Amino acid sequence: MTGLTCAGTYVTGTGADGQPRKTYLHHVVDNAWSMREYGHQAVVWQTAVCAVVALELIADGTWEGAGVLGPESFDAVPYLERLADYGAPHAVDERLTAQVEVGGQRADSPRRSAARRCRCRRG
């Protein structure tokens, strides 16, 4: 396998300002880099590194709590920073909603507006 792979999540909801917000949070990994650094394809590495980072944050006490807690229960910043430390800095694309016609009916269509890169460093 050659090239890049992108893992991400498209999130819709309400921003801190109370206005509707749509974003695509993602990280891109180069297969040649992951093979050279870790001996695994980028897709495998991306799957594994997310769990590794979560376990490290629990083990070092950055993330803590009692009971069954979902990922939204924890501060995302330490997680995203540690992903960057491992070589997978994230990016956030803000999205706009455009009205398009599908099968004679109007429907919302996510459309990329502007990308913001984080200040995370690449490992």
Q: What is the pLDDT of residues 65-104, one digit of tens each?
A: 999 998 889 999 999 999 899 888 889 888 875 544 455 5
pLDDT of residue 27: 87
List the structure tokens of 59: 């083990």
Other beta carbons within 10 Å of 83: 21
Average pLDDT rounded to a whole number, residues 111-115: 44
pLDDT of residue 99: 45
pLDDT at 123 over 70: no
Q: Which residue has the tokens 């099968």?
A: 103
List the chain domain ranges.
4-47+83-117
pLDDT band for 15, please (50, 70, 90 cuts): confident
The maximal CA–CA distance of the chain, rounded, in angstroms, is 55
Count, residues in the chain = 123
pLDDT at 14 over 60: yes
Average pLDDT rounded to a whole number, residues 2-20: 89
Q: What is d(CA 80, CA 89) in angstroms, rounded to the nearest whole number?
A: 7
**Closest of 85, 54, 84, 83 to residue 70, by C-alpha:** 54
pLDDT of residue 118: 39
